[in-house]
């Protein structure tokens, strides 16, 4: 039985679109059954609807600081659709520890840096400022601490001498669109085991691929 997934968005939803596209494959172990946005103007809503996915807007603004009340409505929507797994895709709203605990091991996030480096806002600009030569994206389980939690998958890109945060963000986004569906495939396929703060991949195959930056020919 395919795992039933809800994607939570706040904006353009390009990661959402990548997940929807991947999940259309017959052998994908999960189906995207619902997209929820906490903003009515999120561009991703139209994309989801165009793909035939049910959408729901639950505006978070009217709830102000009452996160628990917002989450009660959210949880009801998830229950109604019998959701097994949540994927956050640029969802810009923090959860209470209670909500996160309830979904522990079943809620993924993607962040555009190689965590634990550069959590928080504008991670691509943080990477350029820090002068790292390699950055990337991370898919991780959500824990109460922001942009932290057991790491399921990472993808890396070179940072160029003349990179701007925007150009770096573009290349990282291309990696995001590859690793998020791959990470969901592993999780929904029952191939991820959480051990403390880390993830192990059941039957995982290592590779000896390496990325050296700047290149050494």
Active site residues: 111
Residue 104 burial by Cβ neighbours in a 10 Å radius (0-12, 13-18, 19+): middle
Q: For ligand GAR, which is the closer residue by CB, 11 or 144?
A: 11
Q: Tokens 């679109």, residue?
A: 17
Number of residues that bind ligand GAR (CB under 6 A): 15
Span between the terminal Cα atoms of the chain, in Å: 47
Contact between 147 and ligand GAR per CB under 6 A = yes
Contact between 90 and ligand GAR per CB under 6 A = yes
Question: How far apart are alpha carbons 102 and 216 in whole angstroms?
Answer: 47
Nearest approach, Cβ of 28 to ligand GAR (angstroms)?
A: 19
Angle at 56 between CA 55 and CA 61, to 5 degrees: 140
Q: Would you say how long the chain is, in residues?
A: 217
Question: How far apart are alpha carbons 44 and 12 in whole angstroms?
Answer: 5
Contact between 176 and ligand GAR per CB under 6 A = yes
Q: Provide the mask over 13-52, with x wherever binding to ligand GAR is found by CB under 6 A and - wherever it is not.
A: xxx----------------------------x--------
Contact between 12 and ligand GAR per CB under 6 A = yes
Nearest approach, Cβ of 165 to ligand GAR (angstroms)?
A: 12
Site of interaction with ligand GAR (CB under 6 A): 9, 11-15, 44, 89-90, 110-112, 147, 173, 176
């Amino acid at each position: 039985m395919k795992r039933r997934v809800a994607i939570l968005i706040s904006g353009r939803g390009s990661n959402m679109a990548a997940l929807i596209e991947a999940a259309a494959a017959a052998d994908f172990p999960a189906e995207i059954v619902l997209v929820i946005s906490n903003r009515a103007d999120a561009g991703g809503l139209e994309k989801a609807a165009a793909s035939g996915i049910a959408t729901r807007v639950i505006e978070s603004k009217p709830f102000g600081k009452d996160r628990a009340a917002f989450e009660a409505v959210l949880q009801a929507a998830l229950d109604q659709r019998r959701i097994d797994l949540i994927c956050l895709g640029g969802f810009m709203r923090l959860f209470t520890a209670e909500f996160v605990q309830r979904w522990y091991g079943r809620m993924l996030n993607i962040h555009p840096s190689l965590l634990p480096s550069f959590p928080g806002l504008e991670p691509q600009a943080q990477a350029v400022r820090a002068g790292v030569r390699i950055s990337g994206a991370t898919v991780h389980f959500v824990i109460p601490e922001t942009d932290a939690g057991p790491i399921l998958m990472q993808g890396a890109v070179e940072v160029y001498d003349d990179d701007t945060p925007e150009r770096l963000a573009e290349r990282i986004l291309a990696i995001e669109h590859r690793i998020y569906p791959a990470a969901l495939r592993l999780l929904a396929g029952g191939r991820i085991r959480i051990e403390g703060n880390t993830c192990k991949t059941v039957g995982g195959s290592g590779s000896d691929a390496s990325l050296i930056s700047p290149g050494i020919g």
